[in-house]
Structure 1
Amino acid sequence: MTPEDQEETQPLLRPPDSAPRGRGVFLAAFAAALGPLSFGFALGYSSPAIPSLRRSASPTPRLDNDTASWFGAIVTLGAAAGGVLGGWLLDRAGRKLSLLLCTVPFVTGFAVITAAQDVWTLLGGRLLTGLACGIASLVAPVYISEIAYPKVRGLLGSCVQLMVVIGILLAYLAGWVLEWRWLAVLGCAPPTFMLLLMCCMPETPRFLLTQHKRQEAMAAVRFLWGSEQGWEEPPFGVEHQGFHLAQLRHPGIYKPFVIGISLMVFQQLSGINAVMFYAETIFEEAKFKDSSLASVIVGTIQVLFTAVAALAMDKAGRRLLLALSGVVMVFSTSAFGAYFKLSQGSPSNSSHVDLWAPVSMEPTNASVGLAWLAVGSMCLFTAVAP
């Protein structure tokens, strides 16, 4: 390969000899990461909101067993549609504008929930927040990866998942003291703050180059990196290679494709979203005296271990961490199932008592131990869940 050929194959944003010191990249990454924070809050919202809606003194809206299940799960339907919409917006509207647009269904969805007077309005609001979640979960990582210089790209990329679990914990903590309407009002705050910050942030240099806006791309690099050192425009422009189904015939394509899709499918089938959506309800059924406290404990454990995993990922390796995660998840869910099996003979067994009835009985030493078995197994599950 000639020196000229080597020059042409250099990446779009070449690592500089000395790492950039610009602080703008951290501010822009924080602004974009408010999307995953809002995403996490929307996921965790149903956990404290469902018991609050069941205890509501007002006759409307009030959830029964079926509508409570829909209230938690419908956000995933919106997220599926949002993922498709986000992929369409990503290359047509750009990364920045896509993030700005996703704040609209976030704020509108929570506003609709706040003003809801019937169950259908509640479900509509949840569907809108799910739509926003799907867009934010796709666009935010792309934006962050494209603005970061190589030295901090891994660190900033790992912050996406960390912000999601922080958002979940925030919903659990706020739900400890706020009823469902005020909790929805609080849900409007992160996307609103994100909207204000993102208005001041640049588009990614990579996307600007695809639009043949070289001067704007250079200005974005100066804002993000502090200088243009290490940044070069490719000599023949930016080229896009489309994906064709025929490419799946090649092992180098279909093997990672199947592995990646399988990991995502099994992650969802593990039940992690069900735990996040219904954490407080699960602990009420487990007869834990303070289900809100138990949910906060689980959320805190998840945040701590997500941070640990982000730090250990490059040293321990992805494969080892995934294998360890699977083994521990099997153990923890088995322990949680054992709790309900052991408690079946008791008159206070949750399967014979209204799930939504207040837990007012004085626990015996045995029941206290079993309750902590439930909490401990769920803490362990969320700590290692991928």
Structure 2
Amino acid sequence: MHRAPALEAAAAIAAGLAIKPDSPKILAQRGRLNLDLLRLEQALADFDAALALSPRLEVALQGKAQVNILKGNTAGAIAAVKTLLEEHPRSDIGIALLASCYASQGDIATALEHLDAGLAIAPDYADLIGRKIFLLDYLPDADFAVQQAARKHWWEAIGAKLPQRVLSPRKLDPDKRILIGYVASEFRNHSAAFALLPVLRHHDHARFEIVCYSCSPVRDEMTAAFRSSADVWVDAWQMSDDELADRIQADKIDILIDVSGHTTGNRLHVFARKPAPIQVSGFGHATGTGLQTMDHVLADPIFIPQSARHLLAEKVYDLPCLITIDPILDVPASEPPMLRNGHVTFGVFNRIYKISDEAIRVWSNVMREVTGSKIVIKHTLLDDPMLRDSLIARFVAQGVAEENVI
């Protein structure tokens, strides 16, 4: 929740419910607050209570669909979205949520069709553009030119319209530490965190002062590790874009690093305001942002091909290797399971929408060549029977026996 302090919002909602305890709109607003705070069970209960009183309340249907998507209940999300679109067929949010449901099933092409339909209704709706940018990275037919064109659209429709900050001239002082600010929603148990944490741990604090602007309400053991690696920690998840830009500018950050790119929880609206003299994107979604106010994108000689670099809005700055992780030292070595199982087991631990039909075709070809082999696919969304059955069916269509997909 970026737009209002959670405590103030909760107090206002409680006061409203004290006067009108059966108000579906106020119940739905409490659901929105709980959703922003990732209290999914409480949010779902609030939305259900609101819908019991007003079955077609738009904000409650939106919220229920969002909660179900986050909980991995795709069938429940689709049901809420269909009801929403029956009542409000031009709802850009409803169309975006329907696209998310298709993406969860691995049908990226159909998800993008719905996003384009939504953009035809609301061409400057930032969330629709951001989702399209994110999903285009998983469409096999989308090359760098297509991906960067979508980022350019975000800048022209959204970023270019935001007022940029006027920064005071800085006196260069060789004895002063350089201030580096990291803006991220990933200071938690997140895939990007495993690549970013070693970087923060190895900063030279004699030469650099590290400020972390945390943009997620989630706190866990990874958050504690990041916090211990920072000189200054700022809980920024409740700050508006202007408030965060004000804080960054007041902190006199020299180099501001965006970790999130166009992924969930990003603060690119802040970077569009240019609150720091040098702005860089990298680590979490390091494929360019399209922002004219982003000076560099971090990569390595492999990550972004030389042939595509002219398409990016940013200058590419190569590290020796962009993705580095700490070695896993507390897991003892063991013999290959195939020796005791009598068959080879392949494994995929990734999001479903990253599993393309082309990938399944290749994996299935390999499995047919390796007699008796099985494949284990692990992701939280596969707790949803609808998604699990759909994924298995894609393997079966390629000639893999159902019992060999675990």
Which interval holds the TM-score relative to the shorter structure?
Answer: under 0.3
| Structure whose residues are more often helix by fraction | 1
Point out which structure has higher relative CO (alpha carbons under 8 A, 6+ apart).
1
| Structure whose residues are more often strand by fraction | 2
- TM-score normalised by length of structure 2: 0.21
- TM-score normalised by length of structure 1: 0.22
